[in-house]
């Protein structure tokens, strides 16, 4: 999708600090971190949100969660971490490209903020 900022990052049109990449997924440092470790993990395929996930995407979502687990291990988040997916405007989704926030490096309270 030509106007999607994450698609532009995936295409290499916008620079990012990558922590992981394969043929289906990319993981990058968030430019406005909410925790000492704040990684965004997203599919390379443009899927707007969880509302747009089809049954055929379920293996991809499983792969994404495996990537999140592996990145958390590499970043030594052994004391814990949070995985967040915001869905839609009222859910706090700011970029219409499904992505998951991996947050860690400090004690995370609930509710946030």
Q: Which long-range contacts (CB under 8 A, 24 or more apart) does 73-80 make?
A: 74/19, 75/19, 75/37, 75/39, 75/104, 77/37, 77/102, 77/104, 77/105, 79/104, 80/104, 80/108
pLDDT (tens place) for every residue of the chain, 113 residues total: 679 999 999 999 999 999 999 999 999 999 999 999 999 999 999 999 999 999 999 999 999 999 999 999 999 999 999 999 999 999 999 999 999 999 999 998 777 65
Cα(72)–Cα(39) distance, integer angstroms:
9
Rounded-to-10 torsion of CA 44, 49, 97, 102 = -80
**Residues involved in catalysis:** 99
> Which domains, ranges and CATH numbers included, belong to the chain?
5-104 (3.30.428.10)
């Amino acid at each position: 999708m030509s106007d999607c900022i994450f698609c532009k990052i995936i295409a290499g049109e916008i620079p990012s600090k990558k922590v992981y990449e394969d043929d289906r997924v990319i993981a990058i440092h968030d430019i406005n971190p909410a925790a000492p470790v704040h990684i965004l993990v997203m599919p390379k395929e443009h899927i707007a949100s969880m509302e747009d996930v089809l049954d055929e995407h379920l293996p991809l979502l499983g792969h994404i969660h495996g990537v999140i687990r592996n990145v958390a291990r590499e970043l030594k988040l052994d004391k814990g971490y949070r995985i967040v997916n915001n869905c839609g405007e009222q859910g706090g989704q700011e970029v219409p490209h499904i992505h998951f926030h991996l947050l860690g490096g400090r004690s995370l309270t609930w509710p946030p903020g």
